[in-house]
Structure 1
Amino acid sequence: MKSFLSTLLSGCFLLLQLPLLAQGDWEVPRTGSGVADLQGVWTSATVTTLERDPVLGDRLVVDVEEALRLEQTAALNVLTNADNAPSDPDRLPPTDGNTDAGYNAFWIDPGTKIAEISGEYRTSFIVDPANGRIPYTAAARGAFLQYGQSSGYDGPEQRPLGERCIVGFGSSGGPPMLPVLYNNHYQIVQNESYVMILVEMNHDARIIRLNAERLPTKFSPWLGDSVGHWEGDTLVVETANFHPQQSFRFAIKHSLYLPSTAKVTERFTRTGPNEILYEFTVEDDGAYTQPWTAQIPMRTASGALYEYACHEGNYALP
C-alpha cells in the first residue's frame, strides 16, 4: 500500500512538472515599446498564507506528499467540502439562532492549492525572515494587538475600511496585494507612462506612474503613492505615503500592521506563459526589526473581470 501511494504521488509530481517542460521555448511577451507585457487577468488565490504556521518552523518548502496533506487539511478546504456535501433532507432546523449564514462555499474562492514557485511548494509567502513571520517590534505588536481587541464604534466613520467598501478587505488592494476569502483577481493594463492594476476586491484601481516624481508627503492616498520603473524585464514599484487609516489591515486569511511611514517595494516578473512572480519587501524601522520579503505566484485567469459591487446606496450600516 505504501509503495502504491509513493508511485501515485510520484506520478502526480511528474504531471505537475509538464507545464514547466513546455516552457522551455517560451519567451517573455513584449509590448510595442519593447518592455515585458504583464497585461491580462491574474489570480493569486491559494491556501498558502502570508505567515507560516509556527509548527513548521523554518520549513519554507515541503515535498509533494506534504503539500497534498496541507491542502487536504486546510481549514477553508475542509469547510468548502462540508458545504458541498449533499444535504440531509431529514435534518432538524438549526438551533444556534445564527442568521448570518449568507457565505457558504458557493460565494467564496480562497484557492485550493499550495502556492508553487519554481517547482517548490511553499508553506508561506514570507521567505525572509526564515521563520516566515512578520518581524514586528514590541511597540508595533502592542499597537496591533490593542487595535485588534477594540470593539464598538461611535459611528460608521470608524467602521473598518473593507466593511465600508472604501478599499478591499485586509491588504487585497495593497500594497502588498494579498489574497483574501474571495475575489482574488487583478487586471493589469499598461502603456509607456503608466501601469494600472484593477483590484477585484474592492474595485480599486492602482495607478502606477512610471519614471515619475513622487507626490509631496502631504498627500496620502488610499493604497499609497506608487512610482515604478523597469529593471530588465521586471517591473519595480516603490510605494510610500500610505493613508494613516489604512495601517491596520484585517481579513480572514491574513492580518497586517503597515504604518503610513512604511515603504513597500514590489517586483512583477513574467516567469512563464501563465504566471507572474509577485515579490515584495516591506520596510519601516519603527514597526519591524528588519525588512521582510514575500513571494506570491499570480496565474492567468479565464474570462473577464467584472465589477465588485458593494453596498452602495445601503444606508443601514450601523
Structure 2
Amino acid sequence: MIKRAIPIALMFLSGALAAQSYEPPRTASGKPNLQGFWTNASLTTMQRSANYEEIGLVIPDDRLPEFTNDHHQNVRQATDDNQVQGELPDGSDLARGRGYNAFWVDPGSQFGRVRGQSRTSWITYPEDGRIPFSQQGNDLRSAAYARRGNDGPEGRSLGERCIIGFGSTGGPPMNNVLYNNMYQFVQTDDYLMILVEMVHDTRIIPINGQHRPDVLEPWLGDSVGYWDGDTLVVETVNLHPQQSPRNAAPLSAKGKIIERFTRYSDDQILYEFEVSDPVYYTEDWRGEMTFNTTDTRPYEYACHEGNYGLTGILAGARRLELEPASD
C-alpha cells in the first residue's frame, strides 16, 4: 500500500504545481474565467473496467495506442458495427437495425487526459477505481430499479421522460456518455450557469449563496459555490428523490458532493469531485476529469419533439396486456 501511495501522491503534487504555474484568463472582477464551450467526451469512464485492473489508474504511454485502437467504441466506428454495405438491416438486432449503432453515437475516440496522464477511470479513490457501495446503498438502488415498469410514464427512466439527462450528464458529478457530451459555462460574479447538451439540463449555481430549505429537493440537487483561491468549489445536497438512486453518485439526505473547477490551461478545466454519504457508501470516494475546449456548438436538444419512443413503449405494453396469457 505504501509503495502505491508514494507515486500517486507525487502525481497529484506535480499536477498541482503545473496548475499553480498557469495564469488563467480572468473576468473583470479578477476571478478565473470559466466561460466557454467545453466537452468531456472520452473513452474514459467513471468506474474502471476490469480490462484495466492490471495497469491501474494511469495508462503507460507505450501502451496507449494499443488500448486506444482496441477499445470497443473505436472498433465500432471503424467497422460501422459490421454493417454490410448494400444489405438492408432486418431490425432483429438493435445495432443492425440502426438503433444506437456506431452511426448515432459520439463518445469520443481518446482516453481522457488528466494532469497530463491518460486515465482508465475518472475515480481516483478507492484505488481500484470502483464506487464503494454499502449493502444498504445497493439495496436502495435495487429497490429503485424494481419500481420501473410500463404502467405509465412515471415507471420509465427520467431520461426517457425528457426530465433530466441520461447517465448523470448534468450531475453531480457530471459524467460523459455515448453522445451529447458538450457543456456551456456562463459566469458572473454571483452565479455560474452550466448548460448541459444532453436533455438541455441547466445548473444555476449561486456563488456565496445559501442552501435552500431541506424540504426543497430540486433536480440536480441544491448547489452553492464559493471561491477558494483560483478554484470554484461547489457543494451539492438534497438531490431529488427520484434522481438520487439512479444518479452516477446516489445521495441520501445525509450526503453531499463537493466539486472543484480549476482552469488548468487554456484548453482545459480540471474538474474534481468528492462524494460523502454514510448511507450509500462504505467510505468517501473521489475522482477527477477534464473539460476540454471545443469549437463545436451544441444543438438544441428538443427531447419531447418526436419522442415516439416513450409512446411506443407504453403502447406496446398495453398491446401485450390484450394478448391471452401463455400456459
**Class of the TM-score when normalised by the shorter of the 2 chains:** 0.7 to 0.9
- Residue 20 of structure 1 is matched in structure 2 by none
1:120 aligns with 2:113: no
80-89 vs 179-188, which deviates more? 80-89
Shift in Å, 1:155: 0.7
Q: Structure 1: which 5+ runs fail to align?
A: 1-22
Q: Counterparts of 1:131-210 in structure 2 under 5 Å?
A: 131-148=128-145, 152-210=149-207
Asked whether the equivalents of residues 240 and 262 of structure 1 are also in contact (C-alpha less than 8 Å), the reply is yes
Pick closer, same or farther for the CA change 1:58–1:140 going to 2, 3 Å: farther
Asked whether the equivalents of residues 203 and 307 of structure 1 are also in contact (C-alpha less than 8 Å), the reply is yes
What is the TM-score when the length of structure 1 is the normalising length? 0.84
Asked whether the equivalents of residues 58 and 131 of structure 1 are also in contact (C-alpha less than 8 Å), the reply is no
DSSP 3-state at the match of 2:103: helix
1:28 aligns with 2:21: no
Partner letter of residue 261 of structure 2? F
Shift in Å, 1:146: 4.7
DSSP 3-state at the match of 1:282: strand
- Aligned mate of 1:39, from 18, 26, 35: 35
- Aligned mate of 1:300, from 283, 289, 293: 293
- Residue 262 of structure 1 is matched in structure 2 by 255
Q: How many residues align?
A: 291
Quick check: which one's strand share is greater? Answer: 1
Shift in Å, 1:150: 6.1
Partner letter of residue 284 of structure 1? D
- Residue 47 of structure 2 is matched in structure 1 by 51
- Residue 280 of structure 2 is matched in structure 1 by 287
1:80 aligns with 2:85: no
49-58 vs 205-214, which deviates more? 49-58
Partner letter of residue 281 of structure 1? E
Pick closer, same or farther for the CA change 1:261–1:107 going to 2, 3 Å: farther
Shift in Å, 1:121: 1.4
Partner letter of residue 75 of structure 2? V
Asked whether the equivalents of residues 110 and 181 of structure 1 are also in contact (C-alpha less than 8 Å), the reply is yes
1:107-152 deviation digits (Å, cap 9, x = unpaired): 2110111111122111110001111110111111233245446653
Quick check: which one's helix share is greater? Answer: 2
Partner letter of residue 282 of structure 1? V
Distance 2:297 2:91 in 1: 41
Asked whether the equivalents of residues 172 and 180 of structure 1 are also in contact (C-alpha less than 8 Å), the reply is yes
Q: Counterparts of 1:208-287 in structure 2 under 5 Å?
A: 208-249=205-246, 257-259=250-252, 261-287=254-280
Partner letter of residue 268 of structure 1? F
Asked whether the equivalents of residues 167 and 177 of structure 2 are also in contact (C-alpha less than 8 Å), the reply is yes
Asked whether the equivalents of residues 24 and 33 of structure 2 are also in contact (C-alpha less than 8 Å), the reply is yes
Pick closer, same or farther for the CA change 1:102–1:313 going to 2, 3 Å: closer
Shift in Å, 1:95: 7.4
